[in-house]
Structure 1
Amino acid sequence: MADHGDDKERQLKRLRRVEGQIRGLQKMVEEDKYCIDVLTQVSAATRALQSFSLELLERHMAGCVVEAAAKGGPEADRKIREASEAIARLVRS
């Protein structure tokens, strides 16, 4: 498994890529680009954020949730509830 620092740097790299996509969208709007082209880029940025979110959720479940579940008790219930709520938010977005 990758070191936490490597994971963090990879996550930051992905977020910087999304940030670049958003800046590109701003430029497209400033330049009055064709609406469908802007919408295509919005879709790409949205997919990139969704992919990032799913990876982060997967890491959380594999780490924090599994660890809490192994210990049991109210902490496990809380972690499972948090993960379920996060999944619900992602599904609604």
Structure 2
Amino acid sequence: MKDRKQAALQRLARLEGQVRGVIRMVEEDRYCVDILNQTLAVRSALAQVEILILQDHADECVEEAITSNDPEAQRQKFRELVGIFERVCR
């Protein structure tokens, strides 16, 4: 997780700057399409952070449940993943 954590933190720091930039653009009454292009970039960057966190969850938490031979822990982690995918697909 160390590498992914660092990558996620770096991306989040950039995202913070991007969001501040969007705020400035709105305050300055910038062209709507330019603002929308920036919000799309923010969403894309956030999706990349989500992928890093999901990869870590699969590699750490889900793998731990699978190797634990605990059927309830395995079901719980599986339900969590399904719940995330349900929200993503909406």
Structure 1 length as normaliser, TM-score? 0.86
Instruction: Please give the alpha-carbon distance, in whole angstroms, between the structure 1 residues aligned to 2:55 and 2:83.
Output: 14
1:87 to 72, 85, 88: 85
Quote how far apart the aligned CAs of 1:84 are: 1.4
Q: In the alignment, what sits opposite 1:18?
A: 15
Which stretches in structure 2 are left out of the alignment for 5+ residues? none
In structure 2, what residue type is equivalent to 1:26? Answer: I
- Displacement, 1:88? 1.9
Structure 1 residue aligned with 2:75, among 74, 77, 82?
Answer: 77
Structure with more contact order per residue of length (Cα contacts < 8 Å, sep ≥ 6): 2
Q: Which residue number corresponds to residue 58 of structure 2?
A: 61
Q: Give 5+ residue unaligned stretches, structure 1.
A: none
Counterpart in the other structure of 1:40: 37
Secondary structure of the structure 1 residue equivalent to 2:89 = helix
Q: How many corresponding residue pairs?
A: 89
**RMSD of aligned alpha carbons:** 1.4
- Does the 8 Å CA contact 2:66/2:74 hold for their aligned counterparts? yes
The alpha-carbon deviation at position 8 of structure 1 amounts to 2.5
Separation of aligned partners in 1, 2:16 and 2:66: 35
% identical equivalent positions: 39
Structure 1: distance between partners of 2:54 and 2:5: 14
Tell me the TM-score normalized by structure 2.
0.88
- Write out the 4+ residue segments of structure 1 that deviate beyond 6 Å after TM superposition: none
